[in-house]
Amino acid sequence: MEEIKNKLPGPGYSNSLSWGWSTMKWAFLPLFLVFIVLVVIDWPLELIGNRFRDHHEGWLYMIEHPGAYWALVIEVLALAYWLLLVPVFEYSANLLFVHAARRQRPDVREIVAGFRNYVSIVLANLLTIALVGIALVAFIIPGIIVACRLAFVSYLVMDKNLDPVAAVETSWKMTRGHGWKIFALGFTSIFIFIGGLLLFFVGVIPAVIWIKSTFASLYESVLQENETD
């Protein structure tokens, strides 16, 4: 891949989208491989979810069919898989997208780097889910605000090796004044993803890579801004 020496632009909505797009083009193949790994990791959850939806199973199914306790076992295992394994790959992938945003060639072998920081990743993910969940129960808008303010937790755990509490606190500080940009980018990401679906599904691949590159670019630009203050 050809090196790009340009410094990251300031943390802005259009700047993040633009740099995310150029990042996707610059490191498409390794980031595509990261995307494939994430799809493979998510596939068991999708398979289980589709089976229960298709057959109207789950808790209702167990009530109607008392002998089908295997369904509960599968749901518990799926929950454990989602909480204890999936975040390791997602956090590792986020770090690779940050490397690409910095114009450092992503080493896809580092997709398992999260296992070196396993406990912090699992705890940080649980803490983030709990905080956003509590805020959502209080009301939808506070939940959205908390989710936006904690958008950098995964990057900080992997990039700065912060513990879960420090990552949450630092993300809250870093995103001060950038919450609307994060919300706008998240809202725009919905339309980017839908646009990818409309392109015969194949467009989902560049859409997801662009989205993840955009958020990694915003994190890096905010980080650079804070380090120069």
Q: Collapsing DSSP states into helix, strand and coil, what is residue 66?
A: coil
Between CA 2 and CA 11 the distance in angstroms is 24
What is the C-alpha end-to-end distance of the chain, expressed in Å? 32
Q: What is the pLDDT of residue 185?
A: 97
Question: In the chain, what are the domain boundaries?
Answer: 13-228
Give percent above pLDDT 70 in the chain: 85
Give 83-131 pLDDT, tens digit per residue.
Answer: 999 999 999 999 999 999 999 999 999 999 999 999 999 999 999 999 9
Q: Is the pLDDT of residue 133 over 90?
A: yes
Q: What is the pLDDT of residue 132?
A: 96
Structure tokens at 220: 């890096």
On whether the CB atoms of residues 75 and 69 are closer than 8 A, the answer is no
Q: Is the pLDDT of residue 3 over 90?
A: no
Give 150-186 pLDDT, tens digit per residue.
Answer: 999 999 999 999 999 999 999 999 999 999 999 999 9
Between CA 218 and CA 78 the distance in angstroms is 32
Q: What is the pLDDT of residue 2?
A: 42
pTM for this prediction = 0.89
Residue of 120, 134, 136, 135 lying closest to 87 (CA atoms): 120
Q: Is the pLDDT of residue 192 over 60?
A: yes
